[in-house]
């Protein structure tokens, strides 16, 4: 079972948890469901937006390899619940009974594990979950944030959430980078060891590694040691590329809790118990959970191109206007210059002509420049010089 050479209690407890997970993975789905709490055993009371829930219809069973039977609320995208107001009175309130008397020695704490996720995405409570202790009213206030990334050529992201790749082990759910990392690790392990890690689903036709198979267990540990577990799989495997989604919904969670139940809480009928015994019984075995929106608006983080077509057209128009205006001014100045040059040319020609005429007159003798005008006879010339 892998305890050889171990002396540390924490390490032995961790190995015992791994062995339990290996053992559970070897069972059928029906057997695993029977070994965990049923829906009505786990959920005692539920209300949403001040109205009572239908536990049978409003919760869907989800079997997790580590936490056993889990139940998803508001899973139906075609007929889902919506919040019209913010605050704990208008979210979901559930009373969960964990029955710590059924806990095994590998359980270090008592409480419930909660994961908040879109209904079409696979829940990863071991990675993205929140713990709520028994004996307390735990409040989870959520704020929605939407991240929109640009696809190629501006960046690298997965545009469609619907997965068509057969190597993605979480079939039936939308793409998620966490699921991609786990799929890469699981597929690589199957190729090397011919069996899968019990923490994750396996493709059809394959089985999980057995806790009693020393060879398979050693192969699994060798792969984890060389790769560094699934969170570092992309650093070791060039073929595994896990991109972010182009559109991602993120729920920011604020957690607070208070002691529960109070002395004035009506816990209903505790058969065969006094009021104080009933209160103590619930304090050791039950937890009140509240999940609600802190505010109904959401934050949108959107990527945009640094220099797009609109910027190009705007800059082109600006430069065109600048250079066109400069060219018109230049043409007008050239025209004025040409007009001035032509005017000066003709003016100088006229002055030269006048100067030549004046010079020619000065060169004629005085006696030849007299003009006699008289009455003309028919045989005389009109003018003689």
Domain residue spans in the chain? 309-359
Please report the pLDDT score of residue 361 as a whole number: 65
Closest CA to 64 of 206, 184, 201, 229: 201
Beta bridge mates, 59: 73
346: left (phi over 0), alpha (psi -120 to 50) or beta: alpha
Mean pLDDT of the residues in the chain = 84
Which range scores top for mean pLDDT: 24-38, 267-281, 306-320? 24-38
Distances (CA, A) of 70 to 43, 98, 114, 115, 151: 11, 12, 9, 10, 35
The pTM assigned to this predicted structure is 0.76
Token pair recorded at residue 20: 């339990």
Distances (CA, A) of 213 to 50, 193, 217, 373: 52, 11, 6, 150
Q: Which residue has the higher pLDDT, 377 or 218?
A: 218
Whether residue 372 is predicted with pLDDT greater than 60 in this model: the reply is: no
Over residues 193-220, mean pLDDT: 87
Which tens digits make up the pLDDT trace of 226-249?
766 655 555 556 678 889 999 999
Q: Which residue has the higher pLDDT, 306 or 61?
A: 61
Please report the pLDDT score of residue 235 as a whole number: 55
Over residues 114-121, mean pLDDT: 93
The CA distance from 100 to 107, in Å, is 9
Are 160 and 245 in contact by the 8 Å Cβ rule? The answer is no
Which tens digits make up the pLDDT trace of 261-300?
887 777 777 788 888 888 899 999 999 999 999 999 999 9
Which tens digits make up the pLDDT trace of 156-179?
899 888 887 778 999 889 999 999
């Amino acid at each position: 079972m892998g305890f050889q050479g171990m002396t540390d209690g924490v390490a032995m407890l961790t190995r015992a948890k791994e062995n339990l997970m290996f053992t559970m993975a070897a069972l059928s789905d029906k057997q695993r469901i029977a070994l965990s709490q049923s829906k009505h055993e786990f959920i005692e009371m539920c209300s949403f937006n001040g109205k009572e829930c239908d536990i049978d219809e409003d919760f869907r069973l989800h079997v997790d390899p580590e936490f056993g039977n889990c139940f998803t609320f508001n899973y139906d995208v075609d007929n889902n619940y919506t919040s019209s107001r913010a605050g704990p009175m208008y979210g979901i309130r559930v009373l969960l009974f964990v029955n710590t008397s059924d806990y095994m020695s590998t359980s270090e704490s008592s409480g419930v594990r909660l994961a908040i996720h879109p209904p079409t995405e696979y829940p990863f409570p071991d990675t993205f979950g929140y713990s709520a202790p028994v004996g307390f009213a735990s409040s989870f206030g959520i704020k929605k944030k939407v991240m929109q990334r640009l696809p190629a050529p501006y960046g690298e992201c997965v545009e469609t959430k619907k997965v068509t790749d057969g190597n993605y082990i979480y079939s039936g759910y939308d793409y998620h980078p966490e699921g991609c990392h786990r799929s890469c690790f699981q597929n690589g392990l199957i190729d090397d060891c011919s069996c899968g890690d019990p923490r994750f689903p396996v493709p059809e036709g394959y089985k999980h590694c057995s806790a009693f198979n020393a060879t398979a267990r050693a192969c699994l540990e060798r792969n984890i040691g060389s790769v560094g577990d699934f969170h570092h799989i992309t650093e070791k495997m060039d073929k595994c590329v896990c991109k972010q989604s182009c559109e991602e919904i993120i729920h920011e969670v604020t957690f607070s809790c208070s002691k529960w139940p109070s002395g004035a809480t009506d816990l209903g009928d505790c058969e065969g118990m006094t009021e104080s015994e009933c209160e103590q019984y619930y304090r050791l075995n039950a937890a009140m959970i509240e999940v609600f929106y802190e505010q109904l608006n959401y934050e949108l983080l959107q990527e945009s191109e640094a220099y797009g077509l609109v910027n190009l057209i705007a800059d082109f128009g600006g430069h065109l206007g600048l250079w066109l205006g400069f060219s018109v001014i230049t043409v007008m100045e050239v025209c004025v210059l040409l007009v001035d040059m032509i005017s000066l040319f003709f003016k100088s020609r006229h002055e030269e002509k006048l100067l030549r005429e004046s010079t020619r007159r000065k060169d004629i003798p005085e006696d030849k420049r007299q003009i006699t005008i008289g009455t003309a006879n028919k045989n005389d010339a009109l003018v003689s010089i």
